[in-house]
Amino acid sequence: MLRKVVLVHLAALLSAASPLASANPNSNFTYDEKDFLLDGKSFQIIGGQMDPQRIPREFWRQRLQMARAMGLNTIFSYIFWNDLEPNPGQWNFHDRNDIRGFFRIAQEEGLYAVLRPGPYICGEHEWGGFPAWLSQVDGMKVRENNDQFLNATKRYLDRLGSELWGLQITQGGPILMNQLENEYGSFGNDKAYLQRTADILRENFEVFLYTNDGGGNKTSLDGGTLHGVLAATDGRDPKTGFKNRDELNDPTMLGPQLYGEYWLQWFDNWAASVTHSNGSADERTIEGHINNLEWVLQGKNSFNIYMFHGGTNFGFESGSTGDNPTTAVTSSYDYGAPLDETGRPTEIYHKLRDMISKHVPAGSIPDIPGLPKIAEVAEFSMKPALSLFDSRSSQPQKQANSPVTMESLGQSYGFVLYEHKLDKDISGTLSPGDKPRDRVIVYINGKKVGVIDCTYKSPATVPLDVKKGDVLQLLVENLGRVDFSLAMKDQVKGIVGDVKIGNEILKGWATYSLPISQLPSLLNKTVSAEDTPVFYTGSFILPDGTETDQSGDILLTFPKGIKGQVWVNGINMGRYWTIGPQQSLYIPGCYVKDHAMSNDVVVLELEPKAGTELTGKGVATREWFNSPDPDAP
């Protein structure tokens, strides 16, 4: 019996010789009880995940060519709502947010696409893709049948739909289908919410919907599926996932089996004890992955490799995966993927390519493009240029009895500086609000006296013995909102509640917003590297014979740095942290100037050490290791 048939137009048959470049109005894409159907013929989705907002726009085509060369025919992509709408009604579809441009290039390179717009996407991304300003809307409850949330969701999906309408398969584009929410059964079971979200998606897209939930847990499948929507599963065990999916009681959820995320490896988080999640860890692990995915193909079923290419959490875009402790995700989203963060194939890439080639027509997989080596850069000096505290505005953004939150300042990312002048002597342990959010550096009269770091389950305590007239400063860093959507109050950053020393509540706070969305002027400034955070400046020139684009890719490291942020030619590349496991930052060659020109580097070092010269260098190979935490409790 036919469970469900949804007809859509198809662009053109996929092949290495004839990529999807134009529409064919006589084609269609649908599914029956067992198969996805392309022009009435069985079509297996051999997919891999790539999120365009984690990849330099200039490198989208190369990454997509590498996907084709591994044998993939479809790209799955999360869309990050928070990057598209950083403030209510303020839209950004430029550069890495040019989602329409990404799917057009995918089509030109012979790839179909599956859209994963959320509104919630998880992905170890900042608040699972939700904009920070949602927490400031009265009555807001995310991922629930809540009018405030669904109204905001509708505005987002309406706008995304208008951007991508012409790229659906029905309109001659590459987008085959659209995911409803993401692993919702691991969060809740509000069918009214799922139905209203599905209705919004159907208003804006013609392609059919599917859900994706953890295949090893029947409760997750029961909670995350919806009547009339094809159900898919994910995890590391497709056999169990497929079995559990087929046992769903609602036949309108059944159809071809899709393993919506096959997890090859895992993400990395900042910690002195965490090792890099390596996709080529050992032969036995790789063999297990190959066997699982070949089993899927042999059964005429479909899969999406998560991640095929992870990319980078540029700037302040990485999220956290827990709040007790705060599990802050690294700048690199390498994920141990077949295509590493720099766009170069790993051992498992070649083995997957060999396996896939057995299940597709001979000659349909193109050759692997050649790639240059990573450029090396000799060690260069970084000079202190400006104290972070001197870059603040002349007047605080807020003066109040109690500290105010980051979001109430209209700020989503970066830092907030809180300042209080003591009106009497006090001794006791510092309590910065209801809990530290997420890392608090404590200063008395401009001297660092401690760090409260919530990446530890039991953060360090900071005892204080302050005198009347002393100035207490708290620099609070947002390390990323939790990606699986905790209660709204837990997604607020900065200081929430009163600051206490012992049992004494401190009243009277000046609050300074430090989002560092743009670098301050660093010209004609001199400063000595003391305890407070310092901007350093330096520069490098590519070696002779090196050109930009991928031949100019660099792995930049700061051997004497503790923790901070890096800009190259004005672009925020992400965080570094001595604790590891990430010990080098990927600098895409498209952001680097030709070898005859100087490349400007700015580093905000949060914990400079007097008498220690900060240096940078570009290394030839990726460095993954751990170092002791100088701020460990």
CA 214/CA 182 separation, integer angstroms:
10
Strands 112-116 and 36-38: unpaired
Structure tokens at 602: 């700015």
- 116: nearest Cα among 19, 234, 12, 218: 234
CA 451/CA 441 separation, integer angstroms:
5
Residues 6+ apart with CB under 8 A from 382: 536, 537, 538, 558, 601, 603, 613, 614, 615, 616
CA 29/CA 170 separation, integer angstroms:
9
CA 303/CA 257 separation, integer angstroms:
8
Residues designated catalytic:
183, 261
CA 175/CA 20 separation, integer angstroms:
11
Q: State in Å, rounded, how far the first CA of the chain is from the last one.
A: 63
Residues facing 432 on adjacent strands: 499
Beta strands in 462-516 (DSSP E): 463-466, 471-477, 499-501, 504-505, 509-514
CA 97/CA 80 separation, integer angstroms:
9
CA 546/CA 378 separation, integer angstroms:
14
Q: Are 78 and 125 in contact (CB under 8 A)?
A: yes
- 122: nearest Cα among 301, 270, 307: 307
Q: Are 312 and 342 in contact (CB under 8 A)?
A: no
CA 481/CA 474 separation, integer angstroms:
20
